[in-house]
Amino acid sequence: MIEKRGSMVGSLDVAYDLDDSRLFRIDSESPLRSKKLTLIREHKGPARRPLQPSETVHPVAVPSSWNRQIVRAIRNCCEHFLQTQHDEGYWWSELESNVTITSEYVMFRYLLGLNDPGKNRKIAAYLLNHQTENGSWELYYGDGGDLSTTVEAYFALKLAGEDPKSESMLRAKDFILRNGGVEASRVFTKIWLALFSQYDWDRVPSMPVELVLLPPSCYFNIYEFSMWARSTAVPLSIVLAIRPRYPLPPEHAIPELNPCSVGETVKKRFASPTHHLFYFFDRIAKFFERHPISSLRNRAVDAAESWILEHQEETGDWGGIQPAMVNSILALHYLGYPLDHPVMAKGLQAIEDFCLDDDEGFRMQSCLSPVWDTALTALAFLEAGVPPEHPHLIKATEWLIRNQVTTGGDWQIKNPSPPGGWAFEFTNNFYPDVDDSAVVLQTLYRMRSSGCAGIESAMERGMAWCLSMQGSTGGWAAFDKDNELVILNRIPFADQEAMVDFATADVTGRMLEAMGLFGFDRSHHRAEKGIRFLKDRQEADGAWWGRWGVNYIYGTWSALRGLVGIGEDPKAPYIQAAVHWIKQHQNGDGGWGETCRSYEDPALRGQGPSTPSQTAWALMALLVCGEYDSPEVRKGVQYLLRTQRPDGTWDEKEFTGTGFPKHFFIRYHNYRNCFPLMALGQYLHWIKKSDKGV
């Protein structure tokens, strides 16, 4: 409960949280002043600036040195976020991945005849700066090097004019050859090389364009693919049907990356009989690729072209992700669309909007995360005790309300319900997702006393949409309902094993937590199904696998927050097993960490160097289960206090976000700050209520 005192002219002057014993004072006398951004997608963060009196957060009534340290850490982090909020109300930080995204940007522009020597020099400098000592480029920090990533970086550097006899290129070539050469690389790498006549199209797995003609009632159809696979595979199927071959100059060719001759047969190994069967089907599809039924092929290409055009956003985006955007433009290019066509012009601008050019170098991101960053940051402020009336929170909330998706999308194929979710990006109206929506709903619920226009109707529509997305297993997936045809991960095209969007513990936990806030209890039929889903997927040691964050720490945190939030007893044996697992995996420095390699080797679950984000997840998992006074929690809080920088932020070079398990990881630059702020805020809330101190 918030009691307001002091001058009410303009905005709140002093706010006391009665439950937390007078935690924060908010000075609000002058209007917010910050740099006006001219574009909604201005991706350079606002310059840090002195805070105005209306923007500061001042802790008061601190009874002990331990409390003072925590409050100071919270204040410093809050001030960092106050200084970096965009004028429209959102927060956005870089979403960093491996260098293939930037390497493919070079290839993409080369194919379109948009080669820019000046930009290429910047990109080359960026790529070379990220090369490791052994000559490779990594999927994530410390992985020792990844073959496909290195092949693409090498080829991009050669296209950009880098001397193949330079020391960096020779080291890269040596790494590639030692690890099997181009033939051992992933399917998408081979497709890029085939576009440049550097790989044989006949050896690229098929994705028949005729698949788009199959109705949703068929066992195999494009709507059984995950959102990210569907939005990429449809345009790519046109490219694979056309099989373009760019006449690459000899100086840019890469025959040196093939340890065997082009005609030499490479023996295929199969992981299972199912893989063998699908490989046989792929050979049949290859025959029809070379000998198509013309009328059927033409009808399929027309249908795929229409699908692409129908799925382009007004801003030019497709699916809000780089693969869908790049392949859609390439497909239309090979169908004869000129670059100045409105569809192409908007698409090319959307590609450029994903790029960053600063002191770190010129690079492209795989995706943008403003809705996710804004909801998480606002929630962290609220956890830290900042009242809903704070002007920065009101601006963030108003921005989130404006960005609710109120139009239909592919999700309606299996769930013909009214819209109401939120997407991850600035623009992605066809693909809202449950994970973002659940966090936004938690934020809006906590902001409901702010008086923001439309908040109640946004909450009502959002929760109704999220509930309708519950799958038949009882769990929630990210983008689609009952997208569970996991056999698709066995087709030769799917070597990244990411063709479906099945329900997961982390998204289900997030939804249960939101439901608990909204007044649902464990006896509600949807809650019962969700709880059963989580119980069925808990592993023998008590942990849960994490789909969208690394990995068991993330999954276990999300599941526990949801289970306790919906009313499960924290003392229940299965929950205590998870608590025990979290405690067991604390590092000696007081933090928690987990390597991305735990997806490949579950024996590494919960193991890795400590990171601020993973430490915060572990702390919040323990706190929600009542472990406030445990030595593990105290040590974890000390780790966060000890590692915070003077400017209120934390350093984190590790990748703790997951795109595709085993194959694509993300370093969210916001995670290292927003999650520690959340955890410290939750801990301080308990201290204030219990009058604890050291």
Active site residues: 435
The rounded Cα 94 to chain-centroid distance in angstroms is 11
One-letter amino acid at 2 equals: I
Provide the sign of the torsion angle of the four alpha carbons 194, 196, 199, 202, taken in this order.
positive
DSSP assignments along 502-523, one per residue: --BHHHHHHHHHHHHHTT--TT
106, 112 contact by CB (below 8 A): no
Written in H, E and C, the secondary structure of 161-187 is CCCCCCHHHHHHHHHHHHCCCHHHCCH
Helix (H, G, I), strand (E, B) or coil at 25: strand
Looking at residue 392, the DSSP 8-state letter turns out to be H
**Which string of DSSP letters, residue by residue, matches 434-484?**
HHHHHHHHHHHHHTGGG--TTHHHHHHHHHHHHHHT--TTS-B-SS-SSB-
Q: By the 8 A CB rule, do 105 and 68 touch?
A: no
Q: Are 304 and 238 in contact (CB under 8 A)?
A: yes
CA distance 139 to 572: 39
**CA–CA separation, 134 and 167 (whole Å):** 11
Q: Which amino acid is at 85?
A: Q
C-alpha of 329 from chain center? 23
**Residue type present at position 549:** G
> What CA–CA distance (Å, rounded) separates 642 from 70?
11
Angle, helix 434-446 to helix 391-402, in steps of 10 degrees: 140
Percent of the chain as helix, strand, coil, to the nearest 5:
50, 5, 45
Based on its alpha-carbon atoms, the radius of gyration of the chain, rounded to whole angstroms, reads 26
For 223, phi then psi, to 5°, come to -85, 0
Q: Long-range contacts of range 297-300, CB-CB < 8 Å, 24 or more positions apart?
A: 297/209, 297/210, 297/241, 299/213, 300/208, 300/209, 300/210, 300/211, 300/212, 300/213, 300/241
**At which residue do the structure tokens 């993409």 appear?**
108
Residues constituting the chain = 694
Q: Which residue has the tokens 């093939």?
A: 258
Residue 70: strand, helix, or coil: helix
Phi and psi at residue 364, to the nearest 5°: -115, 145
CA nearest neighbour of 123 among 110, 138, 146, 105: 105
Beta-carbon count within 10 A of 3 CB: 10
The rounded distance, in Å, linking the Cα atoms of 515 and 30 is: 38
Q: Is 476 helix (H, G, I), strand (E, B) or coil?
A: strand
Written as six digits, the tokens of 591 are 């933090």
Q: Sign of the C-alpha dihedral, residues 505, 507, 508, 514?
A: positive
